Structure 1
């Protein structure tokens, strides 16, 4: 690709990043509100079911074959870690934790990715990475610890811990993907991992929420379609387009806008309060994620050239 067309498309990249982060940030409000109409596991099963169907339809029209058999087992594990575990924990935790705070805690994921990369991929831990991880951990403590000081009940604290575990699971899924999944396009991996993850979520919904009422109305269907079609299928597809146009580090850093939008949408639409602890903790987490990824920039720029859709 020549330099001139790339420069002409820079504005497209910026628009896509803004659109993705806005939709993901707004999606946290809908995930929280959806609990008024159905159980957390039922909603997640419906949401990712819609997203999976759309992605498989894209694969069908693009005439993409299924991944090699030797890779399917690894993709199943990625799906369980990244879709099933993460959203089972997050959706259940949203019963107790505000949507804005939840988005901040889940997007500590890059910190956990860095930690697992050191342990499993044997990446060297540099001074800047240590500083970044340290800031992130302090930020998490600030968010949770502040709530303890102001007398928050145990259920909210329990929900926050579940979301941190979800963030760690997401980070582990990223590292496992880099370690085990080879020669499979991004859309194939996303479609199949989301499909397998949906099966796990559906099993949990049947086991835990069988017989519980599900209210289908204009509002609840909107929540399902928006988070399934837009926040899941569309945004993941656009995300891969962004990854093919710019380096991974720049793209990943851009996701830091998601918890910012999550906090803003939650404050405006749900009336959630943004405390000093959440603000300070969020700033530390965002700073930690940025600093922890600085040493990876050169390597990620090289990797980005080999990304395929």
Structure 2
């Protein structure tokens, strides 16, 4: 099936679009469990190098098969910066933080990203936040404080708190990458842009790996290979490819809200598969973050509708 025929099918069958969204968010949520489990077999940066190296190769192959010309030489500096912000920094911090933080909780902290995107967009893109958006961001921030504060109250080790802060910084970097993309690269095709930013981001991860985990042993077996191939091919390359097709059919606000299924599935799979327990702080904080993002995004959607 060609891309054009697939797009026509998706345009005519919205139920297929929502089924694909459900499948993608399920896979992304499940990937958090694999990211956590992979740390038993290799260092966090080593795993990220293999994962995104695999993902970048598959994405570049998809771009090559699509036979689309892309002005790489003209935009390589911007793509390098985007790759460092969106892939290198985010997943170096996330994977290191996962050494100390539960997978489900980590997914919730990282997917606080829409709040940081809103604040950064107001600062760098001149977008004015409305009262409902401020309220949504405030509720989400209270959710973050509920998670971090509960762990401090329960006397978790400083390593846990440090890991959680690293993942929050990763969420901020992800939000900053979204703003940078809109400033410098929004006019370029999303699939090709993501393929090349992932390539540059992977190079950054490999450099960090060489400096920090050169002599760290790797245990190769069916499990470690599965974790790398699943997260690299399915969760990174193929899911993103389909996701960018979906983004051309639904509005960005709906897409942002639908990604909140990822931390929900992350919490579910981490509890079901690896037996992680959800504290009252995680449950309360997760609900507040999700509600805050939904309020902020829905108010933004209503604002866009009134302007049109």
Structure 1 and Structure 2 fold alike (TM over 0.5): yes
Q: 1:66 aligns with which of 70, 77, 92?
A: 70
Question: Which whole-Å deviations, capped at 9, do the CAs of 1:115-134 have from their partners, x for residues lacking one?
Answer: 10000001011101100110
Gaps of 5+ in 1: 303-309
Question: Which whole-Å deviations, capped at 9, do the CAs of 1:194-240 have from their partners, x for residues lacking one?
Answer: 00000000000000000111111111000000000000001101111
Quote the Cα distance in structure 2 between the aligned partners of 1:142 and 1:300.
Answer: 31
Name the counterpart of 1:227: 231
| TM-score of the pair, normalised by structure 1 | 0.94
Residue 245 of structure 1: SS of its match in structure 2? Answer: coil
Q: 1:188 aligns with which of 188, 192, 196?
A: 192
Q: 1:153 aligns with which of 150, 157, 161?
A: 157
Matched, 1:293 2:297: yes
Partners of 2:34 and 2:227 within 8 A in 1: yes
Q: 1:236 aligns with which of 233, 237, 240?
A: 240
The 3 A distance-change label for structure 1 pair 44 and 301 is: farther
Matched, 1:198 2:202: yes
Name the counterpart of 1:307: none
Question: Which whole-Å deviations, capped at 9, do the CAs of 1:14-36 have from their partners, x for residues lacking one?
Answer: 11010010000000000000000
The total of aligned residue pairs comes to 300
Residue 295 of structure 1: SS of its match in structure 2? Answer: helix
Partners of 2:10 and 2:16 within 8 A in 1: no
Name the counterpart of 2:121: 117
What is the CA RMSD across the aligned residues, in angstroms?
1.8
Quote the Cα distance in structure 2 between the aligned partners of 1:162 and 1:29.
Answer: 18
Quote the Cα distance in structure 1 between the aligned partners of 2:139 and 2:245.
Answer: 31
Q: 1:177 aligns with which of 160, 174, 181?
A: 181
| TM-score of the pair, normalised by structure 2 | 0.94
The 3 A distance-change label for structure 1 pair 123 and 55 is: same
Partners of 2:35 and 2:95 within 8 A in 1: yes
Matched, 1:90 2:94: yes
